[in-house]
Amino acid sequence: MPARRISTKVKVAVVLLGIAALLAFGFRRVLFHKMFAEDEDRPPIIVHNGSLLFDSAKNWKKDPSGTHRFKLDHTKGASVGVYSVVMTGSSTPSCTAATLSGFDVFVDYLADSTAQVKRFHLSRVTVPTPPVKREPVLDSPEPLTNVPAAGTTPAQLVYPAGPEGWISNVTVGSVSCAFNKPADAAARQAVRVEITPKV
């Protein structure tokens, strides 16, 4: 009888341990799903000429961690692994024909032929609050005007330097792509830099 009683207790203990393990596994799966399954693809950031414009389907918001730093209001956005960059209107054929990838994107802008180059830096910052992820941030050398999205019009960050300015260079990783001064307004408007955050 004592041997049988001990055996029964062992069986019960094993069953209870199995149930606890299954519950813990299920909890981990639910937690993992909660943390990552709701992540959304991040929309591209379109940079174009005139006054320098940074368009996005998500609104921009000021980030206090930098002097003139902005990030996208996209809490459920997926963590950014790399930026994929496609350029239209570049004076560098190899850049126009290629899709470039890098952790950092630098956009150089000239308000006119005699102006000092202004450099804008799109990078990634790590957000430590769970789930830990990397988010896109834009650092500007000067203040930007933040215009929220309205209807079909995308949200914009505007560097109001005047309609004669142009993107003079874009650097993605170690690849630098030069842009000539556009000949006219149509050529200026044809320049597009599409920057898509990728996982």
In this predicted structure, what is the pLDDT of residue 36?
Answer: 46
The pLDDT of residue 72 is: 94
pLDDT exceeds 80 at position 9: no
Same domain, 68 and 25: no
User: Both 12 and 89 in a single domain?
Assistant: no
Q: Which domain holds residue 19?
A: 1-37
Which residues of the chain form beta strands (DSSP E)?
45-48, 52-56, 60-62, 69-72, 82-88, 99-102, 105-110, 118-127, 133-139, 145-147, 155-159, 166-172, 175-178, 192-198
Q: What is the pLDDT of residues 126-136, one digit of tens each?
A: 988 777 899 99
Same domain, 53 and 114: yes
Residues 172, 103 within the same domain: yes
Averaged over 54-73, what is the pLDDT? 94
pLDDT tens, residue by residue, 70-116: 999 998 899 999 999 999 988 888 898 789 999 999 999 998 888 89
Residue % of the chain over a pLDDT of 90: 55
* Residues 27 and 49 reside in one and the same domain: no
Same domain, 24 and 103: no
Tell whether the model's pLDDT for residue 26 goes beyond 50: no
Single pTM value for the model: 0.79
pLDDT of residue 32 exceeding 60: no
Q: What pLDDT does 49 receive?
A: 87
- Looking at residue 112, its pLDDT comes to 87
Give residue 61's pLDDT band: very low, low, confident or very high (50, 70, 90).
very high
- Tell me, yes or no, whether 58 and 92 share the same domain: yes
Asked if 87 and 6 sit in the same domain, the reply is: no
188 and 122 within one domain: yes
pLDDT given at position 156: 95
Handedness of CA 151, 157, 161, 165 (dihedral sign): negative
Same-domain pairing of 96 and 164: yes
pLDDT above 90: residue 159: yes
Mean residue pLDDT across the chain: 83
Please give the tally of structural domains in the chain: 2
Copy the structure tokens of residue 114.
């005699």
The verdict on 150 and 169 lying in the same domain is yes
Instruction: Say what the pLDDT of residue 2 is.
Output: 52
